[in-house]
A and B are shown apart, each in its own frame.
Chain A
Amino acid sequence: MKSVLLIAVAALPLAAQVSFERLRKAELEPGNWLTYSGNYSAHRHSPLKQITALNVARLRPVWVHQISRLDKFETTPLVADGVMYISESPSNVTALDTRTGRTLWRYRRTLPRDLRLCCGQVNRGVALLDDLVFVGTVDAHLVALDSKSGVVRWDATVADYKTGHSITVAPLAVKDKIIVGIAGGEFGVRGFIDAYSAKTGERAWRFWTIPAPGEPGSETWAGESWKTGSATTWVTGAYDSESNTVFWGTGNPGPDWNGEVRLGDNLYSDSLVALDGDTGKLKWHFQFTPHDVHDWDATEVPVLAEAVVRGQKRKVVLFANRNGFYYVLDRASGQYLQGKAFIHQTWAKDLDDSGRPVRLPNTFPSVEGTKVYPSVPGATNWFSPSYSPQTNLFYVAAREEGSVYHMGEADYKAGALFHGGGERYVPGEEGWGAIRALEPATGAMKWEYRLHSPPWAGVLSTAGGLVFGGTNEGMLFALDATAGKQLWRFQTGGMVASNAISYLSGGKQHIAMAAGNAIFAFAVE
């Protein structure tokens, strides 16, 4: 065993450092997958084109890596210079040889027994910078590991887990800093986005997603509600290196389903915030769902692209939101440019000229229950969309289902659940889902590929003209990127709740995706 590993390591090219320059120009090395969404623009698009519509039917598994913990396996693997880095539930990290699938090293975190988590002991991935691997932990630490051994270089406390804080998000490496968000939106935490020195673990800045009294936006929280207003930041954002701007989505206001105790718009919950990468200072914000009472976090991945909107070419942010609407925002100002529902929804008449939803009456949760579409998990969720510059289409895994929303009481107690209600199924209804291809500038649907149930897995597009995804029932699939026709499928036997990536190993294009409790790597035989 030991000698096998040593040989595998010895046969690898010398692991080069993953510099900021490499991250900034990730498109120039499509054989690697260096950052959560593949590039800073969060396209989740691979420029590789060995696997095409003509040969994808011959895609076969080359190895499977099983993990020992049974929880949802949400990781996006990263690949750098022949090594794959994955996070495993609850907060572990494993480095694998991409050719054999064999383990090179493991980091196993010892966790306290009294964790406070709303939604599973999950982790969505790691970040790479220079010779370090960064992982957030469910006990709310950020840890830097040596990329060749997994040895801990530093361990920073981001927040106190006993008050319901946790980290499930994959960090984002920007320049010499590691940006990380926080989870705990069902525990009445006060949300923030942090940046840490990659070298030392010292905190460089913090942006509170809820302004303190006296700060702009604080008037949107009644009384003391800002202190427990959540607006957490549990999905990785995007970065524009030209303007040095970090784009990050924020979560629901707390308590989730009882808005009476936090009257007002509740800024900056359910928003996209644009922050200066060096200082964390707010450049602009756009709030998708003012005064949300349905738990529709805007913790989806913002996609940076260029689009011709009403005849004018602009730098934009594309955003498919859990509330059911697709948005196009100006990247420099946050100005709303375009929006359109991409699923069946019953809570808003439309968006007005500023992008603010025009709410329909009788859609708030009630003690007896109120039926609204979309459901609590929403039109889409944390799993990634994809933008293909090749097809100029935006791909999103869309969910079609409703919920019966209940309002409950909301008494805050530190470290205890603080959600003020919840949801139940709409009796007798089966939800369904689809992969939808939208025209980026308008949100108009070009095609859809229907799924049996509302998905929990993201999509990857490739320059080979394909879109990869997965289903709740364990199927991985490849679709024709221009028409949505299914070209390949593989039954993994476990729920797919992750995002696919593509990379080169041994000169061959591979696709990797977590399903059930394993990572599957595929190549054309």
Chain B
Amino acid sequence: MNRALVMLLTFAMAAAAQESPPKENPHTSGADLERGARLYSGHCAPCHGPKGEGARGAPLARPKLRRAADDQALFRVIENGISGTDMPGAWQMTPREIWQVVAHIRALGRTAVEIVPGDSVKGEQLFGAKGNCTQCHTIKGKGGTAGPELSEIGSRRGADHLRTSMLDPEAATPEGFLQVVAVTRSGKSVTGIRLNEDTDSIQLRDLAGGLHSFWKADLKRLDKEKGRSPMPSYKGVLSNTEIADLTAYLASLRGVL
């Protein structure tokens, strides 16, 4: 099992036994900000980007954060993580260190807000028509299931990351995403996305949505194509303007602010 989960749950339980954080950030000195920046670079930047521009993780260089209206709420998000997402709780940090990170993130939010060029209305049309994105992706209940559901993708990914995922999808595969090719002893080959795996078996969903489960002993070959993605590149298929429009549309999908 997921050791992060074990650690998270258990440290979160222990942390919960401690007092609730104050409303105002008590650690905002220059030294706190400097320490907060170092902590941020180690703990947060790998997902949220060195400047909070967002990548696999949500953009943070924004004056308002959807899940953290005030500093106390931001403290809680960092402390406990967000269940149902990839955001883990920061059991590794003391309360003061969390406050230092809060101070740094708020400082990032005071810098220039990223402007996503492009026309999101045109982007929405492209998504359904020329881009044919709905074949694999669902937004607000409509679309295919081969690719990730995107209804709130703008709250979880930065614009640069979204752009990259269209131009060079294999440079932006989600954490834990794995394309596999399973070839049975009888020669049948199935390419799909791994849904589950253990020592003896693997479960896949093929690109048409079909579900498969194999005993590994029944397979002649099992290729794990790490870093590969079934998503085609839109480089040269869509113009730069169209990519910008699609990016603007996806970045606008941020759920309820």
Contact = CB atoms under 8 A, between A and B. Distances in A.
Given A367-B39, A452-B199, A473-B198, A424 B92 contact: yes
A410 B42 CA distance: 17
Contact of A368 (B6, B41, B97): B41
Given A406-B43, A409-B94, A474-B198, A416 B18 contact: yes
B171 interface: no
Given A118-B11, A452-B198, A427 B42 contact: no
A83 to B, nearest CB: 31
Contacts of A115: 17
B97 A475 contact: no
Interface string B37-49: 0110111001000
B3 interface: yes
A118 B198 contact: no
B18 A408 contact: no
Nearest to B9: A120
A408 B1 contact: no
Interface in B1-49: 1-4, 6-7, 9-11, 13-15, 17-18, 35, 38-39, 41-43, 46
A421 B39 CA distance: 10
Interface string A398-414: 00000010101111000
Contacts of B41: 368
A186 B14 CA distance: 10
A237 to B, nearest CB: 24
Contact of B199 (A406, A409, A473, A497): A473
Given A409-B97, A416-B18, A118 B42 contact: no
Given A119-B6, A495-B1, A423 B18 contact: no
Nearest to A433: B199
A422 B200 contact: no
Interface of B is mostly: helix
Contact of B17 (A116, A408, A410, A472): A116
A47 interface: no
B91 to A, nearest CB: 6
A451 B216 CA distance: 12
Contacts of B197: 452, 473
A525 interface: no
A456 interface: yes
B68 interface: no
B214 to A, nearest CB: 14
Nearest to B18: A416
Interface in B170-227: 175, 197-200
Interface of A is mostly: loop
Nearest to A370: B42
B96 interface: yes
B4 A425 contact: yes
Contacts of B46: 427
A366 B216 CA distance: 41
A369 interface: yes
A340 interface: no
B113 interface: no
B44 to A, nearest CB: 10
B93 interface: yes
A425 B7 CA distance: 12
A417 interface: yes
Interface string A410-447: 11000011010111110110000000000000000000
Interface in B55-106: 88, 91-94, 96-97
Nearest to B91: A422
Contact of A369 (B13, B42, B94): B42
Contacts of B97: 408-409
Contacts of B9: 120
A99 interface: no
Contact of A367 (B10, B38, B94): B38
A110 B104 CA distance: 44
Contacts of B88: 424
Nearest to B46: A427
Given A117-B10, A367-B39, A473-B198, 5 more contacts: A369-B42, A376-B7, A404-B42, A417-B15, A452-B197
29 contacts: A115-B17, A118-B11, A119-B6, A119-B7, A120-B6, A186-B11, A367-B35, A367-B38, A367-B39, A367-B42, A368-B38, A404-B42, A408-B94, A411-B94, A416-B18, A417-B11, A419-B91, A423-B92, A425-B4, A450-B199, A451-B199, A452-B197, A452-B198, A454-B3, A456-B1, A472-B2, A473-B198, A489-B200, A497-B1
